[in-house]
């Protein structure tokens, strides 16, 4: 019986020893072990064995969502620290609230444990101080348009200051900028005026482009109309020219044929004189100006030859001579006196 009690006591003691000696560390966490109140080693994630009652985990102060808590493990993941709106004054004496978000990661848990008391609180206060310094060197307009510059500069300052704490500041973002209500109203009015100006400029530009396009269209239409008229006139002139050429060619061919026929028929000068008289009568019948040659005696001589050739028509010759003289006098009367 005593032996069973002793075995049970030894088993219970062994269980307590193993429970105190075995340490399980979660993934992405580490555990700082102190021996007799002094740093001994750092346990990585997984199962580790320590000396009970001598090796003890050192608690680490962590901040999550603004709340501080002691933990046996050090979280090695990237953590987020959100800062409430901080009142700053710009270079042109405008007060406003600026909120920011800091992303940091513990890279050396020993330094984060023994070099600084509260890593999260230290980063919080350091961010607020440098944010006031940076925004104080900018005007209101510059602070509203230079967020990237402020983010980069603030990250560089925080990363340099937190390096000895074993912390790496990965990103800093300006979350919000709240200017005073009077400034916000002025900015709203300014933006509205700017939008109206842009709308007017856009409308004017559209009207200008429309007028230019209409003018170009009218110009092109006039040019095309002028070119069409020119081409039509050229075509008409070409048609008239071809018509005159064809008419002259036809007249020349007809004259040639008539002359050839007269030569082949052996027409005497008397017949030509009769044709000449008929032409004079036709010319004097209208309003055209007729020029009568002064060789009238030659014409009468030709008529005398005709009368001799046709003795049977003697009574007709005086009438013919009279008609020729009458036609000559009438044509002569229509010719203006040239002095």
Pair (162, 85) in one structural domain: yes
Pair (152, 135) in one structural domain: yes
Last residue of a domain, one of 58, 76, 94: 58
Give domain status of residue 240, yes or no.
Answer: yes
Pair (122, 67) in one structural domain: yes
Pair (293, 232) in one structural domain: no
Pair (141, 201) in one structural domain: no
Pair (241, 295) in one structural domain: no
Pair (170, 67) in one structural domain: yes
Give domain status of residue 156, yes or no.
Answer: yes
User: Residue 76 belongs to what domain range?
Assistant: 62-179
What is the per-residue pLDDT across 256-294, written as a single tens digit (0 to 9) for each? 887 777 667 665 666 666 666 666 666 555 555 545 554
Which of 61-65, 264-268, 293-297 ranks highest by mean pLDDT? 61-65
CATH code (residue 130): 3.30.479.30
**What is the model's pLDDT at position 275?**
66
Q: What confidence tier does 31 reach under pLDDT thresholds 50, 70, 90?
A: very high
**What is the model's pLDDT at position 320?**
46
Give domain status of residue 131, yes or no.
Answer: yes
Q: What confidence tier does 95 reach under pLDDT thresholds 50, 70, 90?
A: confident
3-state secondary structure the chain: CHHHHHHHHHHHHHHHHHHHHEEEECCCEEEEEEECCEEEEEECCEEEECCCCCEEECCEEEEECCEEEEECCEECCEEEEEEEEEEEECCCCCEEEEEEEEEEEECCHHHHHHCCCCHHHHHHHHHHHHHHHHHHCCCHHHHHHCHHHHHHHHHHHHHHHHHHHCEEEEEEEEEEEECCHHHHHHHHHHHHHHHHHHHHHHHHHHHHHHHHHHHHHHHHHHHHHHHHHHHHHHHHHHHHHHHHHHHHHHHHHHHHHHHHHHHHHCCCHHHHHHHHHHHHHHHHCCCCCCCCCCCHHHHHHHHHHHHHHCHHHCCHHHHHHHHHHHHHHHHHHHCCCCC
Pair (37, 71) in one structural domain: no
Pair (117, 75) in one structural domain: yes
Give domain status of residue 339, yes or no.
Answer: no
Pair (247, 279) in one structural domain: no
Give domain status of residue 170, yes or no.
Answer: yes
**What is the model's pLDDT at position 294?**
44
**What is the model's pLDDT at position 312?**
43
Instruction: Give how many domains the chain has, as a whole number.
Output: 4
**What is the model's pLDDT at position 110?**
93
Pair (23, 118) in one structural domain: no
Give domain status of residue 66, yes or no.
Answer: yes
Last residue of a domain, one of 58, 83, 102: 58
Last residue of a domain, one of 148, 179, 210: 179
Pair (38, 50) in one structural domain: yes
């Amino acid at each position: 019986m005593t032996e069973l009690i002793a075995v049970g006591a030894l088993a219970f003691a062994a269980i307590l020893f193993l429970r105190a000696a075995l340490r399980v560390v979660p993934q992405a966490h580490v555990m700082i072990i102190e021996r007799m109140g002094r740093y001994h080693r750092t346990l990585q994630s997984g199962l580790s064995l320590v000396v009970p009652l001598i090796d003890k985990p050192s608690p680490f102060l962590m901040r999550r969502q603004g709340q501080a808590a002691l933990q046996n493990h050090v979280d090695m993941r990237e953590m987020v620290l959100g800062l409430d709106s901080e009142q700053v004054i710009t270079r042109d004496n405008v007060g406003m609230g600026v909120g920011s978000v800091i992303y940091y990661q513990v890279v050396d848990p020993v330094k984060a444990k023994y070099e600084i008391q509260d890593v999260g609180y230290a980063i919080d206060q350091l961010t607020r101080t440098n944010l006031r310094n940076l925004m104080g060197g900018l005007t209101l307009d510059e602070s509203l348009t230079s967020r990237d510059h402020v983010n980069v500069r603030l990250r560089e300052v925080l990363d340099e200051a937190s390096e000895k704490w074993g912390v790496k500041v990965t990103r800093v973002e300006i979350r919000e900028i709240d200017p005073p209500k009077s400034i916000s109203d002025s900015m709203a009015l300014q933006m509205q005026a700017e939008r109206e100006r842009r709308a007017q400029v856009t409308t004017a530009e559209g009207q200008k482009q429309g007028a230019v396009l209409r003018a170009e269209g009218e110009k092109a239409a006039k040019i095309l109309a002028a070119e069409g008229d020119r081409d039509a006139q050229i075509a008409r002139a070409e048609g008239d020219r071809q018509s005159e050429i064809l008419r002259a060619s036809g007249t020349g061919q007809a004259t040639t044929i008539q002359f050839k026929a007269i030569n082949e028929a052996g027409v005497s000068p008397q017949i030509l004189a009769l044709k000449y008289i008929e032409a004079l009568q036709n010319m004097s019948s209208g309003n055209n100006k007729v020029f009568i040659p002064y060789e009238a005696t030659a014409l009468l001589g030709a008529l005398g030859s005709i009368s001799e050739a046709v003795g049977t028509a003697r009574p007709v010759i005086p009438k013919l001579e009279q008609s020729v003289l009458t036609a000559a006098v009438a044509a002569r009367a229509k010719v203006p006196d040239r002095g």
